[in-house]
Every structure is written in C-alpha cells, then in structure tokens.
Amino acid sequence: MENKVEAKDYQIADTNQKIIARNLVKDYELKERHGIFRPKTKKIIHAVKGVSLEIPRGKIIGLLGINGAGKTTTIRMLSSVIEPTSGTLEMDGIDAVKEHRRVKEQINVISGGERNLYWRLTAAENLEYFGSLYGISGDALKERMKKLLKTVDLEDAADTPVERYSKGMKQRLQIARGLINDPSYIFLDEPTLGLDIVIAKEIRDLIRHLAVKEKKGVLLTTHYISEAEELCDYIYIIDHGKIIARGTKEELQALFVYHEKKIDEDFSKPGREMESSSEADTKNCQPEMSSYTGKNKTKEQEIPLEDIIMYLVNEAKEEQK
Amino acid sequence: MREILLVIYAEIRKQKRHNYHSYFVYFSLLIWPVLGFLEVYYTYKPFELASGIAGIGNAQTLLAFLATGYMAYNCFWSMVQNAWSMSYDERTGGTLEMAFLTPANRLALNYGKALGALIQEAWMFCCFCIFILFYTRSLSWSNWYLLPVIFLLLVISSTVWGGMLNAIFLFSRDASIVMDLFDTPMVLFSGTRIPLTAFPLWARLISLLFPLTYCLNLIRLTLHIQIQPHPTNILPDLLKLLLCLLTMITLTHHLLTKAEQNNRRTGELLFY
C-alpha cells in the first residue's frame, strides 16, 4: 500500500523519542444499586490488565479490538487524562504519570463523534479558546488557526457556528482542535466514526501526513479494519484489557498462518490436546520493539486483518474458558 | 502570569460567546431579578416604615437596602448557577475533559469561568440597581467615586466564591445539592432582604458563614444606608471579608488538586 514505510524507516534515531507504556493496569470501582434503601455494593472492574506498548514519533500505531476491549481506557491513560492503577508510562524519557501536566503540552486527543466542541461557538472561536488554554496567543495563534483551518478545509466555514456543521465538518474541526498545540503525539479514538467514504479518506490522508511528514507519533483506534490496514505501521490487538497479539500487518498474518498450521497439525493427530498459544502470544506481547523492523514478512497469501482479529479474539475466549 | 491572564480572558470570551449570545438571554437575566426585587419591595411597603421595622426607617432606605441586597445576591447567585451548569453541560459535552487535557493553570480556569459568568449575568441587573441607588440618593454626584469601590468589592468576592463552587462541582455532577444548601440560607441569612438586626442570635451566627454578609455590610456602610443600629467602623467587616476570601482561595486550591486527583483516578470528568 502506498502509505507503507520501508523497513529502513522503522529505525528510530533517538530511542527517547517515543511513548513507552509498560504493564498499564486500570481498575475502576463500580457502585451497584440494589434499590433505594439497600446499600450500594462495590465492584472492581478490571478495564485494562497490563498493557505494554510503544508509540515512536513518525509512526502510526494501531490499537484494535472489539467494543469494551479497553481501547478508550488505554488511550485515556496514555493521554494522561486518567492515571493507571499500576504500571509505568514514559514520554520522551519523562515519567508521564508523575509529570502529567508537563506532558500535556506535547499530546492531544482526537475523538470520533460530535462532542468535545462548543457548538454555539464558531470553528475559529473554538480554536482560539483551546489555543489560549495552551498559552498560545496573538499572531502565533492566528497563524496556527489559519493554517489548521486550511489543513482541514474549513476556511470558508471558520465563522459559522459549529451547530450548523455537518458531521464530517465537526470531525475535521476536532482534528484541528487536536492539533492546535502542535503535539508530538496524537491519540485518535475512532476518528472516522460514522463518516462517509470521501471524508474518511481525507481524514486518513491527513493522519498519514501527520505521521510521515510532520513526524508525530500517532495512536489510532478504529473499528474499520481497512483503515488500520491502510494506515498502521504496527498493530496491537487488545481484548478484555490485554494485548493478545502485536506486530506489523505482515507479522500478524504470519502469526495467523502459524496458528492455522498448528491447528491443522493438532487435528491430524487424534487424541492430542490442542496446545495453548499463550507462549507465542506472550513472546509477541513483550514491550520491546525488537520485532519492529518489518523483517518477518510472510510469503503466504494476504489474509484480511479482520479475519486475524476475529481469530485471535475467539482464541483468547477459548483460552479463558 | 501572562498564561494565567490569557486563560482567564479566554474563559470570559468563551462564556460570552457560548452562553450569552442573544438579547433575549440578557433580557431574562434582567427581568427575573427585577421581578424578585419588586415582589419583596411591595411586600414590605404596606407596613408602616416610620416605626422603623427591622431598623429601616423610610421607603427610600428600604429601596436602597433592597437594591444593594439584590445586586450583591444576584452576583453571588449567578456563581452557584454557573457552577451547576458547568458541572453538567461541560461534563456531558466532553469540553470539561478537553480543558483538563491542556496544561492550563487550573485556578485560572476556575476563576475565569466564574468571572466570565459574573460579568455576563450580573451587569444588566447591576445597572438597574445603580439606577435605584441614584434614585434614592444613596449614590449622587458627590459620591459617585464609590461605585468602582463597590464594583471591585462585588467582583472579587463573587469570583472567589464562584471559584470555590466550581471546584466543589468538579467532584461530581450530582453536586447540585450545593445549590440547595447555599441558595435559600444565603438569601435568608446574609441580609439580602431582611436586615441582620432583625434576626435572633442563632440566625446571625449562620450569617457569619456567608461572605455575602460581609460584602453587603461593607457596601451599605460605604453608601451610608442607615439601618439601626448603624455601625460606623468599616474595618471589622473588611477584615472578616478578607479572612473569608483568603480561606476560600486556600480551600479552592486544595479542592482543585483533590478534584483532579479524584478525576484522574475515576475518570469522572467525562460522561457519555
């Protein structure tokens, strides 16, 4: 695919220029009601159970999984909106848990949907407000706003209240808002949710541009597998709060082929129990980016990523049983 | 300091653009307090004021007393309303979390929200009250210079009060009980409509809890609105107000730190 970066580009010049998450855990306390006069009971929800991942600058990292897998909670931890119950998080060598206010200058979040904006304000006014919160003012802010409105093609609608925007326009404004502080790392939580194919394509092109040309580290969650296939340099698959597989698209395909072969072999040996794939998965879930070189390309026929994810999720379910 | 002022200014501009975008909004912000003011005035009026009911000796003093009371109350009350709407609308709209995603100074954000709402919500009614004060000759060409003093007193006290309420509302979207706790007791015990001298001791003790009490005492003392017994020394109330404001600022700072810690733990700044 055109956006694929050659293997040599995977080498990160400065090893500190990335976000490194190790064993992130997030537990929530949920209070359950049992009627007005009966006391509430507390329940601990393990939303994320030891996620480790890396986001180098200039790369698009995919975080894929089904609904409720823990994608959004992971993004909210990585973006320092919430703190992990345990685990470590570093951004460019800085402890992002302890110094969360400091790292906020270098990150931003772009969510899919129509929230996170002031609808009665115009696009320019929204950008002016959020820019001011990052300490940008005067000509610098005006120039940044002008550039971003041009980038997301909202120049002509800059002075129109957001409530009059279409869904696609709101999403483009979300992107402009997310770039107002010129972040080094961007977290995109389903940025093309519910958009038509033309707008979605434009946004994908923009995401690619941000990573490849502007060298920003991008973490992308999406339900559109084709989007992940097209954009992501590296993919983590999350299920029930755990990373169940990771690798480039080719590596995931190789993993899939390996598992398929193994299943075939197991079935061809009557009476033999199917081996657990946890060993292979554990190897793949190490946080180091040693396999992040794109070397392990399979020569097998290309398998849709969607099938791989479904297979891995189902396998994880089987293991849990 | 530049960043702090920038954040406060951005909040004021945003509030004006977002919440006070039409003449109807301003009209409603004027008409309801005026109706409340008139209701109380005409409730008192049938009584024989010459006998000095609750220390108020004539109709002019009554008007001036109520105008100052309602003006200050309106400023303080707009803070309670603003904190409530901030905690609900901005929370569900996701913009509160977006603001906390930035490195902006939290105290500046908080006070900016309060100041923005105060300026927009109170100015029309304040103009009305100032007209009443000129009409009753509490304000005249000889003492018009007191206006900025009153204005400053009201703005600072209300903003500090509003900042504290905003911090409380950051803990939970269900903090609306704070509205119930502060509204009726504040309007009753702070001397907005009823002079403190008319209260029994227990009620006067409650009135000490509200900065609005000291603020109103100071405004009325400054304007020589004669309520018997009439204190002449401004210093005790000024010191009490300063102490109250300092306590509130310290508490706000503490609450903001705790609220952010709590929200980082629970993720409750955002509700879909």
Q: Reduce the DSSP state of residue A48 to 3 states and report it.
A: strand
pLDDT tens track for A73-84:
999 999 988 999
**Interface mutation target, options A45, A132, A136, chain B, most CBs of B under 10 Å:** A132
What is the residue type of A5?
Answer: V
Q: Which of A51-55, A104-108, B109-113, B138-142 has the lowest mean pLDDT?
A: B138-142
Q: Which of A121-125, A188-192, A216-220, B263-267 has the lowest mean pLDDT?
A: B263-267
Report CB contact under 8 Å: A130, B94.
no
In sequence order, which residues have a C-beta less than 8 Å from that of residue A36 and are 6 or more positions away? none
Strands A107-111 and A94-95: unpaired
Instruction: Establish if A134 touches chain B: CB-CB under 8 angstroms.
Output: yes
pLDDT of residue B55: 65
pLDDT of residue A275: 40
Average pLDDT, chain B: 83
pLDDT of residue A3: 35
Q: Is the confidence at residue A5, as pLDDT, over 70?
A: no
pLDDT of residue B85: 80
Instruction: Establish if B16 touches chain A: CB-CB under 8 angstroms.
Output: no
This prediction has a pTM of 0.80
Percentage, residues of chain B above pLDDT 90: 15
pLDDT of residue A291: 39
Average pLDDT over residues B236-243: 88
B268: nearest CA partner in chain A? A82
Q: Are A241 and A48 in contact (CB under 8 A)?
A: yes
pLDDT of residue A193: 80
Average pLDDT, chain A: 79
The neighbour count for residue A7, using CB atoms within 10 Å, is 13
Q: Is the confidence at residue B209, as pLDDT, over 50?
A: yes
Alpha-carbon gap, residue A180 to A110, rounded angstroms: 11
pLDDT tens track for B122-133:
787 888 888 888
**Interface mutation target, options B7, B11, B20, B102, chain A, most CBs of A under 10 Å:** B102
Q: Is the confidence at residue A14, as pLDDT, over 90?
A: no
What is the residue type of A107?
Answer: I
Total CB pairs under 8 A between chain A and B: 88
Report CB contact under 8 Å: B102, A104.
yes
What is the residue type of A247?
Answer: G
Average pLDDT over residues B15-36: 80
Q: What are B255's two structure tokens? A: 């609450």
pLDDT of residue B10: 92
Contacts of A128 in chain B (CB under 8 A): 10, 13
Average pLDDT over residues A30-39: 74
Q: Is the confidence at residue B160, as pLDDT, over 50?
A: yes
- Of residues A147 and A32, more confidence is placed in A147
Instruction: Establish if B258 touches chain A: CB-CB under 8 angstroms.
Output: no
Q: Which of A40-49, A147-156, B37-46, B54-63 has the lowest mean pLDDT?
A: B54-63
> Model confidence at A129, in pLDDT bands (50, 70, 90)?
very high
Peptide bond connecting A39 to the previous residue in cis, omega within 30 degrees of 0: no
Instruction: Establish if A106 touches chain B: CB-CB under 8 angstroms.
Output: no
Residue from B269, B58, B26 nearest B166 by CA: B269
Q: Which of A221-235, A281-295, B105-119 has the lowest mean pLDDT?
A: A281-295
pLDDT of residue B111: 92
Instruction: Give one DSSP letter per residue of A215-266, joined into a string.
Output: --EEEEE-S-HHHHHHH-SEEEEEETTEEEEEE-HHHHHHHHHHHHHHHHHH
Instruction: Establish if A267 touches chain B: CB-CB under 8 angstroms.
Output: no
A186: part of which helix (H) or strand (E)?
strand A185-189
> Model confidence at A294, in pLDDT bands (50, 70, 90)?
very low
pLDDT of residue A293: 37
Q: Taking the CA atoms of chain A, what radius of gyration do you get in angstroms? A: 21
Q: Is the confidence at residue A13, as pLDDT, over 50?
A: no
Instruction: Establish if A185 touches chain B: CB-CB under 8 angstroms.
Output: no
Measure the N-to-C terminal CA separation of chain B; round to a whole number of Å: 35
Instruction: Establish if A160 touches chain B: CB-CB under 8 angstroms.
Output: no
**Interface mutation target, options B4, B12, B17, chain A, most CBs of A under 10 Å:** B17
Contacts of B264 in chain A (CB under 8 A): 81-83, 100
pLDDT of residue A11: 42
> Model confidence at A303, in pLDDT bands (50, 70, 90)?
low
Alpha-carbon gap, residue B8 to A207, rounded angstroms: 33
Q: What are A246's two structure tokens? A: 């990771």
Contacts of A102 in chain B (CB under 8 A): 103
A120: nearest CA partner in chain B? B18
Report CB contact under 8 Å: A118, B101.
no
Residue from B170, B166, B169 nearest B158 by CA: B166
Report CB contact under 8 Å: B264, A120.
no
pLDDT tens track for A54-68:
999 999 999 998 888
Q: Is the confidence at residue A2, as pLDDT, over 50?
A: no
Of B9, B95, B109, the CB nearest to A116: B95
> Model confidence at B221, in pLDDT bands (50, 70, 90)?
confident
Instruction: Establish if B142 touches chain A: CB-CB under 8 angstroms.
Output: no
Q: Is the confidence at residue B92, as pLDDT, over 80?
A: yes
Query: Distance from CA of residue B36 to its chain's centroid?
Result: 16
Task: Please give, rounded to a whole number of angstroms, the shortest distance from the CA of B96 to a CA of chain A.
Answer: 8
In sequence order, which residues have a C-beta less than 8 Å from that of residue A198 and are 6 or more positions away? none
Contacts of B100 in chain A (CB under 8 A): 81
Percentage, residues of chain A above pLDDT 90: 36
> Model confidence at A212, in pLDDT bands (50, 70, 90)?
very high
Residue from B243, B227, B166, B155 nearest B194 by CA: B227
Q: Is the confidence at residue A9, as pLDDT, over 90?
A: no
Report CB contact under 8 Å: B109, A133.
yes
Instruction: Establish if B104 touches chain A: CB-CB under 8 angstroms.
Output: yes
Average pLDDT over residues B141-151: 81
Query: Distance from CA of residue A247 to its chain's centroid?
Result: 14
Average pLDDT over residues B17-32: 78
